[in-house]
Structure 1
Amino acid sequence: MAFTIPEGLHPDLNPLAWMVGTWRGKGRGEYPTIPTFEFAQEVTFNHDGRPFLNYFSRSWIIDAEGEIIRPGASEVGFWRVKEKNVLEVVISHNTGISEGWVGQFDGPKIQLVMDQGYSAPSAKIVTAGVRLYGLVAGELFYAYDMAAEGQELQAHIWSTLERQVD
């Protein structure tokens, strides 16, 4: 399948054009403070012609057969491309956490490091994070390492998502 730059995409976003669209798949998560889990995930990157991508992610906790048990995490945010292959990303979670991320892109590989975070009074405190996104064999690979609730930075969730055809 040939790839084309989405119509109306701001030229600053051309390096991220490969991400635009909806991706779905499954992943796995673990952390010392929660039981290991599997999840289904849908991620959408879209634009309105301005120099940022809109980001939406939602997930569902699933059983071993892939059946939905309950809703999982949701995130919304904005991705901005800056000079020298720098990305600035803001993400807010349904759990009361908002984060600023800064990172680099190198073709279809993106690495982000949490710059700042805010947690609502009832939310867990996340003190550090690293996110990796990449296009691997035509699929969106995603991994998130997290330090929270007194734990050191470590693997938390990872998933592989297929591009959805409109």
Structure 2
Amino acid sequence: MTSSGDEAIRAAAERAESTAGRNIPQLDDLPIQGDTANLREGPSLNDACLALLPLVGVWRGEGEISYPTIDGPFRFAQQLTISHDGRPFLCHEARSWLLDADGNVIRPAARETGWWRPQADDTIELLLTHSSGILELFYGKPTKQTAWELGTDAVVRSVSAKDVTAAKRLYGIVGNGDLGYVEERAMVGEPMTPHASALLHRVVG
């Protein structure tokens, strides 16, 4: 009888056949070392980021977004790139697009960019800037080796942005090696309420 550990190793090897040789595009005339989303290439991951190592890669998948103030739920797809340049932080970039019931693209949707900044006491700072005019500072910690829970300490918004007051996120690597996350938000007068969830599959790294 094979153990679940053996199955996980075999599944990881199968995934790596298509993902291990891929990386994010690089400009060959950049005078400094570029970012990498593939731990097999580029600079070594900084020791400070080892607790976040499973997140490094490019991930794509689908999810659902809903909230009491919208007509949803809506189906969306997303690409999440988490990369590094050897320094003690990770770069975070997510692009989303709305899908119809048949999986066809309706239009581009949310975009966010930011930084995962692990600290010596295992605290994680996650700074995110959204194309909608919201800036968020999350703090959190690993809940286990492959799960991370974070909540906002501060939210800043532009005068044209939606009224967001707080958010929570939980990221985790699930048994088959995919990345799942759920998000709750307090906004437009509503209390903290589930807002988005997605399951993303590794495509790079």
Aligned to 1:21: 57
Gaps of 5+ in 2: 1-11, 21-37
Aligned to 1:54: 91
Identity %: 40
What is the rounded CA distance, in whole Å, between the counterparts of 1:83 and 1:13 in structure 2? Answer: 10
Cα drift, residue 68 of structure 1: 0.4
Pick the structure with more helix per residue.
Answer: 2
Structure 2 residue matching 1:121: 3-state secondary structure: coil
Aligned to 2:192: 153
Q: Which amino acid aligns with 2:52?
A: L
Aligned to 1:64: 101
Query: Could you tell me which of 78, 102, 106 is aligned with 2:115?
Result: 78
What is the rounded CA distance, in whole Å, between the counterparts of 1:73 and 1:160 in structure 2? Answer: 16
What is the rounded CA distance, in whole Å, between the counterparts of 2:136 and 2:204 in structure 1? Answer: 30
Aligned to 2:132: 95
Aligned to 1:136: 174
How many residues of Structure 1 are paired with residues of Structure 2 in the alignment? Answer: 166
Larger mean Cα displacement after TM superposition, 1-10 or 131-140: 1-10
CA offsets 1:116-145 (integer angstroms, 9 cap, x no match): 011000001211111000001211001110
Structure 2 residue matching 1:64: 3-state secondary structure: coil
Pick the structure with more strand per residue.
Answer: 1
What is the rounded CA distance, in whole Å, between the counterparts of 1:134 and 1:84 in structure 2? Answer: 20
Structure index of larger Rg: 2
- TM-score by structure 2 length? 0.78
Cα drift, residue 15 of structure 1: 1.1
Cα drift, residue 163 of structure 1: 0.5
Cα drift, residue 86 of structure 1: 1.0
What is the rounded CA distance, in whole Å, between the counterparts of 2:180 and 2:156 in structure 1? Answer: 26
Structure 2 residue matching 1:84: 3-state secondary structure: coil
- TM-score by structure 1 length? 0.95
Cα drift, residue 83 of structure 1: 2.4
Give 4+ residue runs of structure 1 displaced > 6 Å after superposition: none
What is the rounded CA distance, in whole Å, between the counterparts of 1:100 and 1:79 in structure 2? Answer: 10
What is the rounded CA distance, in whole Å, between the counterparts of 1:67 and 1:83 in structure 2? Answer: 44
What is the rounded CA distance, in whole Å, between the counterparts of 2:187 and 2:80 in structure 1? Answer: 23
| C-alpha RMSD of matched pairs (Å) | 1.6
